[in-house]
Amino acid sequence: MGLMDALRGTSVEGPIVVRDGDGAQQDLDALERLRGEAAGDVRDAIDRQIHLIEAGIDGEKRILFELTNSHVPMLILHDLNLKYDGLDAQIDFLVITACHQFVIECKNLFGDIEITSDGDFIRTVRYGRRFSREGIYSPITQNRRHLDLIRSLRRETKNALLKPLFDRSFADNYRSVVVLANPRTVLHARYARKEVRRQVIRADHLVDLIRRMDGEPDSVRSSGKEMRELADFFVQACVESPTDHVARFRRLVEAQANERTGTEQKDESDSSVSRIPVLDVSVASPAASDDASDDDGESDGASPHAPESAKDSSSVPPHPVHAVASAMMPASGTRDEDGPKNPESPEDSRDHGSPESLEVLRRSGSRGSSDDPASSDASSSAQGDAYQDAVVCPRCGAPMVRRRVKHGPNVGSEFYGCSRFPHCHAIVAIDAGQRT
């Protein structure tokens, strides 16, 4: 940076924030909205994620404060998301000075940090009188991956002659720095290797580190124009955040809402049984009709041993099952051009039902009965004692089956449901005093 840079307006006189990413704040606002819709374990997971994001934002604000108040000529790029050859890198800060480019990884950790001679990071947290020690992922390794991706991006911009020179000077120009943003964190790096100790510092030592490295006698200085061109390169290379925590939690909240809606609809369907009027259906027992004929002896019209075809079917009272199914037919007595015309006919009700109803009506209609009026009276008197479960669906004419309510306020009560469910949803409540 010299007189020519000042004349061209390209000089960098102090800290300039070129990019201030707000992706973390947007994620935090979205998670706060989702938290109001979530419940149970999903809400607890959102709370933990909100706590982590808030800690990260707080630590990055401390570092940004130190950089912007350093009075050192630098270009600051905050929250860079870079991608190369299927690899992603989320860089907290990239600081471009006249002599170096600092890749800064922010760690706002709770507890004290110890770095062993092998480069392992161990965190110690105190809970009252107890201490908990746990290993954490090395931020040195994390930042090294960021540098490798930056090297690949920048190397592609060099020609064949400059690539070897770029490779030799890359380690001197790009420096890795891990900043512990929590002012209460105590760093124990006594036994760490020297190159590791130089990379891990506290937030209040960051500006001193930048000044010391830029003051090295062998440092090569760049012009303000070169600094701006490099900053523009990284801004254009920045892509959308590769990880979207909000989308993951949004899917969980939507799945939870769908589950609650399905449960409410099921409970409403079960509780609707109590609102259905009772349909009193009595079916004559063929066995009772046969007993009545035996008690009175032979009927007037035919011998008890005569075949059914020889008896006058018009004298047999209509089966109650047939009567219920026929009552569902239109009043005009016609259903379509090809269908039966008489709504009172048992054949019409059999044609109106499903295959299951055909079988039930065939079995019930095949039983013989007497032509004797006394036998018919005896059969009518026995209607309340047998075959009361043979109920015909009032909607489609199919047989109904006995079911029990499993959910809702009427749990345990019984009702009749259509045998063609789920194609037919008709239900009939069972009267509490009805014999079954």
pLDDT score for 257: 84
pLDDT of residue 268: 62
What was the pLDDT predicted at 144? 94
pLDDT for residue 33: 87
Q: Which amino acid is at 226?
A: E
CA distance 285 to 292: 11
Residue 352 CB neighbour total at 10 angstroms: 21
- pLDDT score for 275: 54
Looking at residue 263, its pLDDT comes to 67
Q: What is the pLDDT of residue 357?
A: 46
pLDDT of residue 212: 92
Question: ∠332-338-340 over CA atoms, to 5°?
Answer: 50
Distance CA 288, CA 400 (A): 22
pLDDT in tens, the chain (436 residues): 444 454 345 678 889 999 987 777 888 888 888 888 888 888 898 888 888 888 888 999 999 999 999 999 999 999 999 999 888 899 999 999 999 999 999 998 888 999 999 989 999 988 888 889 999 999 999 999 999 999 999 999 999 889 999 999 999 999 999 999 998 889 999 899 998 999 999 999 999 999 999 988 888 888 889 999 999 999 999 987 645 678 888 888 888 888 877 766 665 665 555 555 544 444 444 444 444 444 444 444 444 444 444 344 444 444 444 444 444 444 444 444 444 444 444 444 444 444 444 444 444 444 444 444 444 444 444 444 434 446 888 888 889 898 888 888 888 888 888 988 888 988 888 864 343 3
Q: How far is Cα 290 from Cα 33, in angstroms, rounded to an integer? A: 74
Say if CB 353 and CB 325 are below 8 A apart.
Answer: yes
Helix (H) / strand (E) containing 176: strand 174-180
* Phi, psi (rounded to 5 degrees) for 218: -90, 10
pLDDT for the residue 311: 43
What pLDDT does 55 receive? Answer: 86
Instruction: Look up residue 162 and give its two tokens.
Output: 């400059």
Does the pTM surpass 0.85? The reply is no
Identify whether the C-beta of residue 143 lies closer than 8 Å to the C-beta of residue 105: yes
- pLDDT value for 303: 43
The length of the chain is 436
> Radius of gyration over alpha carbons of the chain, in Å?
43
Contacts 24+ apart (CB under 8 A), 150-156: 150/82, 150/89, 150/103, 150/174, 152/84, 152/85, 153/82, 153/84, 153/237, 154/233
DSSP state string for 311-322: S-GGGSPPPHHH
The number of CA neighbours under 13 Å toward the Cβ of 160 is 0
Please name the helix (run of DSSP H) or strand (run of DSSP E) that holds residue 75, with its range, or none: strand 74-84
